[in-house]
Every structure is written in C-alpha cells, then in structure tokens.
Structure 1
Amino acid sequence: MPVTAAPAVLRRRTGIAAGAALVLCLAATGCSGLGRTAVGPVEYRTAEDEVVSVNSPSVKGCHEMEGDGAREVVNETKIDMILYPTRDCSGGGTTYVATTFTDINSPRNAPWRSYRFVH
C-alpha cells in the first residue's frame, strides 16, 4: 500500500517552496541595480606606449582615457564598447568594439580619448 502525504503537509511544502522562490527573486532584483560593472579588463596602449588596464569599469557613463589617448584598445569585458576621439564621449568618428575584440587605430587618425559601454 503506497504512503501518501497528508494534504496539510503538501500545502506546507508548497508554501515553503513558493516563499523561497519569492525571496530569491526579490534578492536578485534588488541587487541588479547596484553598481553594475563590465566584468573583465579594458586594456589600452597610450600614444606614449604605456599600457593601462582598467579592471571591471562601471557600465554607466563615459570613461576618459589617460594621457593623450589610446592607439590600441583590447575589450576583454563581457560588454561591447564604443570608442570616441573626444574626451566626453561625444561626436562622430566612433568605433564599435565587441567583447573580446581589439581595435588598433591607424597612426594617421586621432587617438581614442574616451569610451562607453553598450548596455
């Protein structure tokens, strides 16, 4: 003869499972807006041949590059980025760099001076 749980026990287990799922959903939603970063490094080589590495920068806002800008940019983050020849992420002449890709700027062109993430 099979053993079955009483209806009260099943309701209690279902209620506990539903409550746990609700808590997990609320925790995930609450944390999603906290200082999101582009997990991984952005590395670039300046015009002075200095290598700069920025680990997990914020996905929000414009990021100004050091020195006179960059000739080579390596995007090892999990988010695509846009490079700008201006210091304030404005204007044209931009370049799109997908995640895990590198952009090497021609010496004839102005260096990249800022970047922002596509999110």
Structure 2
Amino acid sequence: MNEKSGTIQIINFWATWCAPCVKELPLFEKLRSESTDVKVTLINLDFADKVKKVNTFLLKKNIQSEVLLLDEIDYNTWIDKVDKNWGGAIPATLIINPKNGKRKFVERELHEGELQKLIEEVQ
C-alpha cells in the first residue's frame, strides 16, 4: 500500500477458523467507525474456495471494514514483504504511517486499548 495521504494504514491478517482473529475483529471495527484518520483493511487468509463462507461470516458479524481475500497458496512469496520478522502466524497486524514511514508489526491477538497505543507509536 503506497498511499501517500496522511491516513494511517492498519492491515490485519486473519481467518474465520482462527479464534483469536475473530475475537479481535471488533477492535478494528470500532476503530474504523470512530476514527477518520485511519484506514482499516482486513486481509482474509481462508482458502479462495471458501469465499462463500467468508462472505456469510462477514454479513453475520456485520463487518464494515474493507476485506480482501488473499488468493495466494505460497505464503513464502509475500510473508517477508509484510515484515521480515513475521513467522506467518495469525492474527497479525501491520500499522503504517505514510507521512513519516514509521511502522509497527504485531504477530498476536490484540486486546482493548492496544491498537490505539500502536497507532500512537507510529505518529
């Protein structure tokens, strides 16, 4: 994401089968609805043939954030591009401030209040 606006980019990698991922989704939805200076993108890692399941899940949970389904089987081709220290586990969240180039990467479930602290660290 080479967006040059001042909007902080929050990219979360998740899957419907990942309980910690599902548990933290409301944090991203809350942030998206309350903050105008961040853009939340949820990258779903379910298999592409599960797109109906993912869409049903999104409707049931009323997810309003932008959701992209990653249709790439060879994870090794893109994991290092997200963060060189990422072992590939999810949930994982990348926060980028395009104004100053600062970024934070977290490879674990986030809890209430942590997302705001991570945003402050890149400002």
Mark yes or no: TM-score above 0.5. no
TM-score range, shorter chain: under 0.3
Could you say which structure has the larger radius of gyration? 1
Considering fraction of residues, name the structure with more helix: 2
TM-score under structure 2 length normalisation: 0.26
TM-score under structure 1 length normalisation: 0.27
